[in-house]
Amino acid sequence: MDLSVFPFLSVMFAVIMGMGIVHLMIAIAALLQNELNVKIYWVHAAWLFFLLLLHFHVWWGFWDFRLVNSWNYFTYLFMLLGPVALFLAVKILIPEASQQEKLDMREFYYRVHRQFYTTMALAVLWGIMIYPVFFGKPDPVLEWLLLFLAVMIALAFLKNPKLHAVLTVVAWALFLTWVLSYGFTMQESG
């Protein structure tokens, strides 16, 4: 594929990712500005910030796909599954609330945790499959993705607050370890 086609193919990817980032930034700002009407739960807040960094990470990783030589409608749709799953995860984790309503983010988090982590698990499965689909080889960080998938599945099925706290820290540790291990290396230019 001619590199000049890549921007055309990436427009929808960028739009969906941008929508998720905008929703997250608005929600984080609203939570910070509206402390009187919101009882913040640190696990919920940790996942909001995690989602923001994850959006930035996925967008950064998208640059590798400029090297894909063959695109068709189905590979294009497959490419959009990850951003769509992340956007849905954002919408699930951000409550719709009026100004008069006192929000308890802990109660809200446990009300939506199953849907949120199931959606996140789908996004991780997309991440696991994307390199085999486009490059015919496993993802270079497959082990990290499998560990993260295990955390998402556990969080989807467990409701114990202590386990959610521990696994939230584990997810952050996995991500930060990945960043410290691989995030400072330059991506190869094609």
pLDDT tens per residue across span 24-43: 998 888 777 765 578 889 99
Number of domains in the chain: 1
Identify the pLDDT of residue 1. 44
pLDDT at 178: 83
Q: What percent of the chain has pLDDT over 90?
A: 51
Provide the greatest CA pair distance for the chain.
54
Provide the pLDDT for residue 189: 43
On whether residue 96 sits in a domain, the answer given is yes
* Residue 44 is assigned to a structural domain of this protein: yes
Assign 5 a pLDDT band (cuts: 50, 70, 90).
Answer: low
Examine residue 188 and state whether it is found in any structural domain, yes or no. no
Quick check: is 190 in a domain?
no
Mean pLDDT over 139-157 rounds to 93
Residue 146 domain-assigned?
yes
Q: Tell me the average pLDDT of the chain.
A: 86
- 91-145 pLDDT tens trace: 999 988 665 567 889 999 999 999 999 999 999 999 999 999 988 899 888 998 9
Mean per-residue pLDDT, 40-59:
93
151 in any annotated domain: yes
Q: Residue 8 has what pLDDT?
A: 62
The pTM assigned to this predicted structure is 0.87
| Rounded Cα distance, 46 and 168, in Å | 7
What is the DSSP code string of the chain?
A: --GGGHHHHHHHHHHHHHHHHHHHHHHHHHHHH-GGGEE--HHHHHHHHHHHHHHHHHHHHGGGGGG-----HHHHHHHHHHHHHHHHHHHHHS----SSSPEEHHHHHHHHHHHHHHHHHHHHHHHHHHHHHHHSS--TTHHHHHHHHHHHHHHHH---HHHHHHHHHHHHHHHHHHIIIIITSPPPP-
Q: Is residue 32 part of a domain?
A: yes
Residue 160 included in any domain = yes
pLDDT at residue number 87: 96
Domain containing 98: what range? 3-183
Query: Is the separation of the CB atoms in 51 and 90 below 8 Å?
Result: yes
